[in-house]
Amino acid sequence: MDLVQLQRQFVDYRTSLYHEGFLDEQFTQLQELQDENNPDFVVEVVSLFFEDSERLLNELARALEQQSIDYKRIDAHVHQLKGSSSSIGAQRVQKVCIAFRNYCEEQNVEGCLNCLQQVRHEYSLVKTKLESLFQLEQQILTAGGSIPM
Amino acid sequence: MNSSNGNGSMSTASSSGAWNGRDQFPAGLRVLVVDDDQTCLMVFEKMLKTCLYQVTKCNKAEIALSVLREHKNEFDIVISDVHMPDMDGFELLKHINSEMDLPVILISADARKQVVMKGVTYGACDYLIKPVCIETLKNIWQHVVRKKARNTF
């Protein structure tokens, strides 16, 4: 595939992520913050997000397995996941967190378990998609091109 | 300024321009940002640096408080997350208000009215909902000026 085709594929793919609600305006903000002094800023922040999320998802699974469920603790974890997902523009993850918190407040274990499954699913989707996006970026850069804004 | 303290840590990043005089204001505004979430902290730091502020970041409220105590008059404004383990944003705010004269902005993904109300009544000069955009951060210098003006007159 030549450079122009690669760039077009990148733009189309990125646009689809917004249309499908995987990413929102906040992700655009991150891209605008990236500059020559910090050329890997977006990848670095997103990597931190992946790290944080995986830890939080494991903590949530553990907390929901307990005999006596600590809803305050679960709420704290979900709150943090909501905050970090919103910071990078992972909109679908953020939305599930909102529902998750409501079930926590109601102390509804079924609801919480469902939300955990949903949030895991949305997280792995957005992770795969962002990794593909970064891969496309890398291909463009390797081919000597620049990333279309 | 670099220090590590157990699980907490903080670091300072300066923008390329130093705050030489009023005409460069608000460039060089000295901001302390506190958040236990490393993703959010990294995004804030970058946004604040892009605003040409001088940024010190911190992931624990206790460390932030000791930094402020040791380096009085070296910060213009504090931005703090609300929900943090150990000391939270409200407690940090209370300490800062009783010990020093610094504007404090609270930030949270928690938009519930009672929580925002608590922040305002505890004396936060503003309460921002995550995700915060850079345009909002470009305006925080107003809180610094407002506080100084209130103290003078």
Q: Considering the domain boundaries, does residue B120 fall inside one?
A: yes
pLDDT computed for residue A96 by the predictor: 97
pLDDT computed for residue B13 by the predictor: 58
Residue whose token pair is 């830890």: A55
Express each pLDDT in A86-111 by its tens digit: 999 999 999 999 999 999 999 999 99
% of residues, chain B, pLDDT over 90: 72
Sequence-ordered list of residues with C-beta below 8 angstroms from that of B86, at least 6 positions apart, any chain? B60, B61, B62
Express each pLDDT in B29-76 by its tens digit: 999 999 999 999 999 999 999 999 999 999 999 999 999 999 989 999
Burial call B90-121: b when 16+ CB within 10 Å, e when fewer: bebbebbeeeeebbbbbbbbbeeeebbebbee
Question: Is the separation of the CB atoms in A119 and A96 below 8 Å?
Answer: yes
Q: Nearest 5°: phi and psi at A66?
A: -65, 155
| Four-point Cα dihedral B58, B63, B65, B70, nearest 10 | -100
Burial class (CB in 10 A: 0-12, 13-18, 19+), B9: middle
Q: Nearest 5°: phi and psi at B34?
A: -125, 120
pLDDT computed for residue B4 by the predictor: 41
Beta-carbon separation of A45 and B133 below 8 A: no
Burial class (CB in 10 A: 0-12, 13-18, 19+), A126: buried
Mutant choice from B35, B39, B57 vs A, greatest count of A C-beta within 10 A:
B39
What is the rounded average pLDDT of the residues A60-64?
Answer: 96
Gap between the Cα atoms of B92 and B124, Å rounded: 10
Which member of B83, B85, B130 has the closest CB to residue A87?
B130
pLDDT computed for residue B20 by the predictor: 42
Check pLDDT > 90 for residue B149: no
Burial class (CB in 10 A: 0-12, 13-18, 19+), B11: middle
Domain tally, chain B: 1
Is the CATH code 3.30.9.10 the one for domain A20-29+41-135? no
Structural domain span for residue B134: 30-151
pLDDT computed for residue B148 by the predictor: 82
Give domain limits for chain A: 20-29+41-135
Closest chain A residue to the Cα of B135, Cα to Cα: A29
Q: Considering the domain boundaries, does residue B129 fall inside one?
A: yes
Q: Considering the domain boundaries, does residue B118 fall inside one?
A: yes
| Four-point Cα dihedral B43, B46, B47, B49, nearest 10 | 150
**In the structure, what pLDDT confidence band is assigned to residue A117 with cuts at 50, 70 and 90?**
very high
Beta-carbon separation of A84 and B39 below 8 A: yes
Q: Considering the domain boundaries, does residue B65 fall inside one?
A: yes
% of residues, chain A, pLDDT over 70: 100
Gap between the Cα atoms of B74 and B80, Å rounded: 17
Beta-carbon separation of A48 and B38 below 8 A: yes
Express each pLDDT in A13-47 by its tens digit: 999 999 999 999 999 999 999 988 889 999 999 99
Closest approach of chain B CAs to the CA of A35, in angstroms? 10
Gap between the Cα atoms of A65 and A79, Å rounded: 19
Gap between the Cα atoms of A24 and B140, Å rounded: 24
Check pLDDT > 50 for residue B78: yes
Residues of A near B (CB-CB distance < 8 A)? 25-26, 29-30, 32-33, 38, 41, 44-45, 48-49, 51-52, 76, 79-80, 82-84, 86-89
> CB of B108 within 8 Å of any CB in chain A?
yes
